Structure 1
Amino acid sequence: MFVVGCPRSGTTMLQLMLHSHPRIAVPPETRYLVPAYQRRRMFGDMRLAQRRQALAEWIAGDRTTKFHELKIDKDEFVRQCVEGPGSLGSVIGTTFRMYADRFDKPRWGDKRPSYVKQVDMLLRLFPDAQFIHLIRDGRDCVASLKEMPWFTHNSFHAVSTWAEAMDAGAKLRRTMAADSYYELRYEDLTDDPSTELKKLCVFLEEDFDEAMISPREAASVAVPVHKVWHSNTHGDVTRARVGSWAARLENWEIALCEDVLGDRLVSQGYELTGAAPAAKAHLAACQKTMQKRRASRLRKNMRDRINRLREPSPVAALLTSGQRAIAGVPRQRIDSPEMADRTL
């Protein structure tokens, strides 16, 4: 499964809750899945063992990836990729499968907020995947984004980021099957973790486990030490930051959020303050930012459509019986009961 949402919406907390389940492993953000997909033409035909080896060595050795945080053996990973199925998704999926093997768990997931805008790509790689969209009050997300050392943009970009996540989620809600896409709110999850996680486990077709409610132990394994902005994950689940935007945003930012995001906030059950309308200059600047970001996404989508016409090899993973069935590959006799499970 994939955990998605707007950055700073609580996706790391949810990652740890899922990782605390005895059957599910969800690693820290890896940062190689999207680049590997975007460079698939460069890596060549994955049906050739030497091409799988080249991709595996890039994933395991390039300075831009976070492979080392998985703490799996590089040589063994390369070997399994060389001997494994000939598709892009199979090589990428092997990293996650080996990470799950570290904890003797049959099922794996991945977490990256921006995936909410890349579900089409992820389904090409893992056609049997499930998606969990964690939603948080956009004003809290904007306030938190502003404070992050890695977020180098202004408030207009922060507002745009939340709007894009909500719009992507609305499309997924309309187009995806109920057993593939699930939404829950950060505020509900922190208010009553047990109830919300039980409902989530029904979606995942897994038994609920009490360990999910207190994911502190998982934080020491699945949250890298250098990510100090996730320090809250090492404590108990808390509602302390719910609604903190009121003290963290300036008045003009509150007005902008409620003016630009108002309909989206209300549709998700969040109340507006009735703040005065945002200044025209702020609205114009935000609209310009949103237009530029939309144009950039359209360009990227166009490049991907062109690249799909020239793909050198299969994309979809062929690691599980479910994936092979979708691809029309005959069932292998060596499948174990666990491999027959839906492992995403």
Structure 2
Amino acid sequence: MLHSHPRIAVAPETRFLVPAYHRRRTYGDLRVEERRRALAQWISSDRSTKFHELKLAKDDYVRQVVEGPGSLGSVIGTTFRMYADRFDKPRWGDKRPSYVKQVDMLLRLFPDAQFIHLIRDGRDCVSSLKEMPWYNLDSFHGISTWAEAIDAGNKLRRTMPEDSYYELRYEDLTDDPATEMKKLCHFLDEDFDPMMVSPREAAQVAVPPHKVWHRNTHGEVTRSRVGSWTNRLDSWEIALCEQALGARLQANGYELTGAPAAAKEHVASLQKTMQKRRASRMRKAMRDRINRLREPSPVAALLTSKQQVLAGVPQPRNESPELAQRAG
């Protein structure tokens, strides 16, 4: 729907942003051209990065990275900027559900970014995850994933500026797409375009055919999956979802069924899963704090005048910082 806007390009989900950030020390000082070239070649050549789905010319991408600013965010941002250029659009976006838990990292890369958090009934999310061909975890992980996302969103809502973080519900979006997209455009400081509520044409270009789990994007906006968890979850999963996620569900406007208490063994398994995931996040956070002390080159993107102002890069004398920010 956002990709249908005449000024915004949202790429298919890629898999290079987070790995590139965590591997940044491997590539050394990105102010050195050959270091940028090495990172750009990995992004554009490794099949795991999904770069090929962006349909960009590899050699052109590597050249633009080498000629561009020497920072990690600039190397990554060049990828999405070129994707937006494919459609002659000035703004780009990227999406992955896990980003809600990685906003601190994303702000380091793109300090002028805006974040949109799409929230859906946790029970529908768990049932959808179960059906994904790429998901190889169990329902305990699915429940944990939704709880973590909601908790992360709550923190962002409390701490981020109003013009940087926005929430909307999947159910509201599918019920009244035009109204919700108009609100979202206001947040993005963009004019609403009616094409946004009929994204079928954009999906033919922006959604790779092999991603059959996104097949609904090729039709009209539908509410057919709202509340479908009632037929897609087992009774024990419903009981566990409502017991573990009840307060979070209700806080986001979702009603509970009054299911009986979950079995003790299911509660114990969920708690064990949540503890392991929490410990894993803490270890990753500690490694990142250590790596930040030894970063070989700048992290923040320097592709727009606003990014340059935020990084303290001197601007041309005939351009005030205020104008530079608006230009960015």
User: Which TM bucket (shorter chain)?
Assistant: over 0.9
3-state SS of paired residue (2:48)? coil
Partner of 1:135: 119
Alpha-carbon offset, residue 332 of structure 1:
4.6
3-state SS of paired residue (1:64)? helix
Partner of 2:201: 217
Deviation track 1:17-52 (CA, whole Å, cap 9, x = no partner) reads 000000000000110000110000000101111111
Deviation track 1:29-79 (CA, whole Å, cap 9, x = no partner) reads 110000110000000101111111111111111121111111111111111
Separation in 2 of the partners of 1:39 and 1:334?
39
3-state SS of paired residue (2:49)? coil
Match of 1:329 among 302, 313, 316: 313
Match of 1:266 among 243, 250, 261: 250
Partner of 2:300: 316
Partner of 1:240: 224
Large movers: runs of 4+ above 4 Å? 332-335, 338-343
Aligned length: 325
Separation in 2 of the partners of 1:283 and 1:236?
39
Identical columns (%): 77
Give yes or no for contact 1:107–1:342 (8 Å, CA) kept in 2.
no
Letter in 2 for 1:304: D
Match of 1:28 among 5, 8, 12: 12
Separation in 1 of the partners of 2:13 and 2:228?
26
Match of 1:105 among 89, 96, 100: 89
Structure with greater contact order relative to length (CA < 8 Å, sep ≥ 6)? 1
Separation in 2 of the partners of 1:342 and 1:217?
30
Give yes or no for contact 2:301–2:307 (8 Å, CA) kept in 1.
yes
Deviation track 1:87-122 (CA, whole Å, cap 9, x = no partner) reads 010010000000000000000010111111100000
Unmatched runs of 5 consecutive residues or more in structure 1: 1-16
Separation in 2 of the partners of 1:66 and 1:38?
17
**Does the alignment pair 1:303 with 2:287?**
yes
| Stretch of structure 1 that moved more, 59-68 or 174-183 | 59-68
Match of 1:285 among 266, 269, 282: 269
Matches within 5 A, 1:1-344: 17-332=1-316
Alpha-carbon offset, residue 183 of structure 1:
0.2
Separation in 1 of the partners of 2:132 and 2:305?
41
Separation in 1 of the partners of 2:317 and 2:92?
23
Alpha-carbon offset, residue 331 of structure 1:
2.0
- Which TM-score applies when normalising by structure 2? 0.97
- Which TM-score applies when normalising by structure 1? 0.92
3-state SS of paired residue (1:184)? strand
Separation in 2 of the partners of 1:341 and 1:160?
40
Separation in 2 of the partners of 1:190 and 1:339?
37
Separation in 2 of the partners of 1:259 and 1:342?
49
3-state SS of paired residue (2:161)? coil
Give yes or no for contact 2:309–2:325 (8 Å, CA) kept in 1.
no
